Structure 1
Amino acid sequence: MNRSHPQAFMAGNPVQQVTLSSLEHYAYCPRQAGLILLEDGYADDAATVRGTLMHQRVHEPGHETRGAIRTLRALPVWHDELGLVGVCDAVEIYHSGRIVPIEHKSGAYVPEGPADIQVAGQAMCLEAMFRRPVPQGVIYSGADRRRHTVTIDATLRRRVTDLAESVRRILIAMALPAAPADQRCRRCSMRDMCMPRVLARAQAFAKAASTLFTPQPEAAWDD
């Protein structure tokens, strides 16, 4: 395992590091990711509090061995070449050499959803660190109390690298993405901070304002 201090390099040049959690946020909503990354914005609701409580239980660093499986908890991971960095909730290491990252989520599992991106990024980091293939990850759903296996295929890996570049562009440009103002906003704890409905109609407001306040030609005076 490579235990050198994580430094992100691409083609020999340092690159802006991207957290694995930001990939999940961006996959759900680019503006949400921007608010968290650029403005340190965050707001809790019932769902996020449940998630925080769950992660408090699994984020205690440590390890245990049961039978042929060693479990590492709160394991820092990184990928130098891709500029990725994060923490795995848990990593199972089997006597056979098999490595499986486990990501805990309080809500229901959504196939091909943002959580898949996060666990795929963890798998790619583990591959770089342990020099072994990690073809699968697991999402543990607190809502249904079961594990969901995620296949880390070429398509999912490409989504990770593409999203990492998108997040990196936000960090470099220091500009918030536009508000989507769609069904995602109803479930977002940050909607009051984001004001998606107001911002989505900003162009319409500007057009209306320009109509109201455009100077009109003076009327000709009759002698």
Structure 2
Amino acid sequence: MYQEEDFLMISGIQHFVFCKRQWALIHIEQQWAENTLTVEGSHLHEKADQPFIREKRNDQLIVRALPIHSRELGISGICDVVEFIRDDSGVMIPKYQDRFRINPVEYKRGKQKPDLSDEMQLTAQAFCLNEMLVAEIKSGELFYFETRNRLTVEITREKLEKLQEITAEMHEYWRKRWTPTVKITKKCERCSLKNVCLPVLSKKESVASYMKRRLAE
């Protein structure tokens, strides 16, 4: 079990799956750069990320910006939206004296990605909710603004096991404060850190060390 001070950000899972170097640049070296995709993504999250706002619709309770964590995986973050849907076979929520099926919903700016970065982030949210509420969430949803589409994602044993492998590797990188060397792919052109990462494509030193050396020159 991890202590709170060792928690890593759930949002970083998407970065890690997309590119381990990008994750390390952001979370270990504290490098960040905005592009149109990150700005638009932040803007589109504003409505979802209104802390502690609850909305009741018939048998459904909608909670926005719900803080979550997992001591087992050592991660924490915020759920954009969690839908609590009244269900006799669901988990008991003492505050409301009723049983609910739990459906996490993650908002994304673009459209469905070819990799598992979005699905792994949603799986992490489900893992945290399972741990916190002693539940068994079998699915969640990804809402894509570009296509205005909700994609249902099954939370399978294989995905949960993959998530455990990913978070263990993230903690290992964090413990060593290690930034992987670059691997050039087509994804690099859409990366918000392209201009930070490219100057050291062929170098083994960290971006922080590179910048420090250049400033000294």
Fold shared by both chains (TM-score > 0.5)? yes
Q: Which residue of 1 aligns with 2:49?
A: 59
The aligned amino acid for 2:186 is Q
Q: What CA deviation, in whole Å up to 9, does each residue of 1:92-136 have, x standing for no partner?
A: 001112101100000101265201000000001001111111010
Q: Which residue of 2 aligns with 1:38?
A: 28
Q: Which residue of 1 aligns with 2:97?
A: none
How far does residue 201 in structure 1 lie from its aligned partner after superposition? 3.4
The aligned amino acid for 1:68 is D
- Judging changes above 3 Å, is the alpha-carbon distance between structure 1 residues 35 and 130 closer, same or farther for their aligned structure 2 residues? same
In 2, distance between residues paired with 1:152 and 1:45? 31
The aligned amino acid for 2:153 is V
Superposition pairs of residues 87-102 of structure 1, within 5 angstroms: 87-96=78-87, 97-102=100-105
How far does residue 143 in structure 1 lie from its aligned partner after superposition? 0.6
In 1, distance between residues paired with 2:182 and 2:114? 24
1:74 matches 2:65: yes
TM-score (norm 2): 0.83
The aligned amino acid for 1:201 is S
In 1, distance between residues paired with 2:86 and 2:187? 42
In 2, distance between residues paired with 1:77 and 1:154? 20
Q: Which residue of 2 aligns with 1:193?
A: 196
In 2, distance between residues paired with 1:14 and 1:99? 25
How far does residue 44 in structure 1 lie from its aligned partner after superposition? 1.2
Q: Which residue of 1 aligns with 2:215?
A: none
The aligned amino acid for 1:76 is P
The aligned amino acid for 1:99 is I
Q: Which residue of 2 aligns with 1:213?
A: none
In 1, distance between residues paired with 2:172 and 2:144? 31
Q: Which residue of 2 aligns with 1:179?
A: 182
- Judging changes above 3 Å, is the alpha-carbon distance between structure 1 residues 193 and 112 closer, same or farther for their aligned structure 2 residues? closer
| Secondary structure, aligned partner of 2:47 | helix
**Percent identity among equivalent residues?**
28
The aligned amino acid for 1:92 is E
Mark the structure with the bigger radius of gyration.
Answer: 1
In 2, distance between residues paired with 1:52 and 1:93? 25
The answer (yes or no) to whether the contact 2:73–2:168 under 8 Å persists in 1 is no
| Secondary structure, aligned partner of 1:90 | strand
Superposition pairs of residues 146-161 of structure 1, within 5 angstroms: 146-161=149-164
Which of 96, 110, 113 aligns to 1:110? It is 113
Residues matched between the structures, number: 191
How far does residue 202 in structure 1 lie from its aligned partner after superposition? 4.1
TM-score (norm 1): 0.81
| Secondary structure, aligned partner of 1:95 | strand
